[in-house]
Amino acid sequence: MRASGPTTPGGRWAGTSLRLRITALVTAVTLACLLGLATVAGRGLGPLLTGAVDDELQEVLSGAARSVAAGGAPAAPDGLAVRVLDTAGSPVDDGAPPALTRDEVRSLKAGTPTTADGRGPVRWHGAVVTAPDGSQRLVVVGAGLVGQRAAEASGSRWLLVTALVGTVVAGVAIWFAVGSALRPVARMRRSVRGLAPGERVTVPDAAAGELRALADDFNALLDQQDATAERLRRFTGDAAHELRSPVASIRLQSEVAVANPDPELSHEVHADVLADAERLSALLDGLLVLARSDAGELPPSETVDLVGEVRAAVDRAGEQPVQLVVNAMSGEAWAAAAHTEVELVLDNLLRNACRYTRTRVVMSVLASRSTVRVLVGDDGPGVRPEHRTKIFDRFYRVSDDRARASGGAGLGLALVAELVRRRGGRVAVGESPDGGARFTVVWPRAG
């Protein structure tokens, strides 16, 4: 048999309810506090009882000392002993010698109370006074402490019992209090289970602030999930629509090629099929990148030289019927991104600009203290203001002169926006100095 490993504290509590956890924790803390208080109080019972005896003895001693100083005999209250001794500790009041040692007599003459253990513990207080004849007398007052130790032990036991009973009462009260506090949460859980699509959790106006905040956060989560599901449905529908067109075109042209064995027609059909296949491949690649981004996949950030990447993008563009101009700042502009992402962004922006420009495309690289920017401008028809906030949406096409010549699927700029956004950057479109469109991409600066 395989020996099971040690159970972690989290594992022991994994199957217990929150109500039991809170009750157990608070009960344990209550027990520790009450036991600590009972222990401290039990240790203080002895000094407390002795202090009460000292107060009473000190009051009787004051009266007895005044009587002796006046030449009279001090009175002894019931239960107390009042003696008059000489400074050596011998009695001068015709009584029996008290059970006091020399050290105890010396302490009493100094005004220090003492406890003598003779036939039983006796608490003594003393004071030296001068009699009318000029002699020095030691007046002492004593009280027996019989039963005090038993009272201390009994009191300590009762304090411990009281602490245990108090802990049990507190635990029961906490159990019911936590259950009452969590009852609205249980009702909310039951209502959540019965929610229909589009419904939200409702909380009474008299509910606690924490419960209302929990309901608001849960409703916000439901809104976010509904929005995500709606985007997914729209994205799936748009993707299916976009995929249907090239697939249908390839199928139709293949049927034409099969039905007509003419070599020249077959060659033309194969060229058209190749173009549609390339369009379909680009569409699938874009959908795959967007799907990975939606799933949260993010390659590690690297240090990318944007000046070199812009020049490499121009080289990849090859021969173009327009003029490509690169305005790079002196030195190097380093961005915190991934090489593949930067290549995809620059290729899409450059391809988009070359598609719509008339004579030239200008690419600029600028750097500041915290960001680096790439500007791609053309002298084409530009982008109207009402389209500038939507042009980065997936499958969005501008229905104006800038889109009439486009055969794209509406994913290029959406890819640009998504790849830049997940690196903490931003992308925008405005008007270039040549009258066309100018796209601005901002990445965080490396380092």
**Could you list the mean pLDDT of each consecutive 10-residue stretch along the chain, which spans 447 residues?**
46 72 90 89 81 86 87 82 86 83 87 80 88 87 80 83 91 90 80 79 68 82 80 66 67 74 72 71 66 66 87 81 59 81 86 87 88 90 85 69 47 81 90 90 89
For tokens 């027609």, the residue is 265
Q: What is the pLDDT of residue 343?
A: 85
Q: What is the pLDDT of residue 101?
A: 84
Residue 355: which residues within 8 A CB-CB, separation 6 or more?
Answer: 405, 406
Answer for the pair 354, 320: CB distance below 8 angstroms, yes or no: yes
Q: What is the pLDDT of residue 282?
A: 63
3-state helix, strand, coil in the chain (%, to 5): 55, 15, 30
Q: Which pair of structure tokens corresponds to residue 172?
A: 């029961």
CA dist 145 and 140 (Å) reads 16
For tokens 């502009």, the residue is 333
Helix/strand/coil for 328: strand
What are the residue ranges of helices labelled H in 322-446?
A: 339-356, 401-404, 412-421
Q: What is the pLDDT of residue 399?
A: 54
Q: How many CB atoms lie within 10 A of CB 135?
A: 11
For tokens 């100083």, the residue is 69
What are the residue ranges of helices labelled H in 260-332?
A: 263-294, 306-317
Q: What is the pLDDT of residue 401?
A: 46
Element (H, E) at 121: strand 121-130
Q: What is the value of pTM for the model shown? A: 0.46
Q: What is the pLDDT of residue 438?
A: 92
Angle between helices 18-69 and 148-193 (to 10 degrees): 150
Q: What is the pLDDT of residue 83?
A: 86
Q: What is the pLDDT of residue 406?
A: 45
CA dist 23 and 17 (Å) reads 10
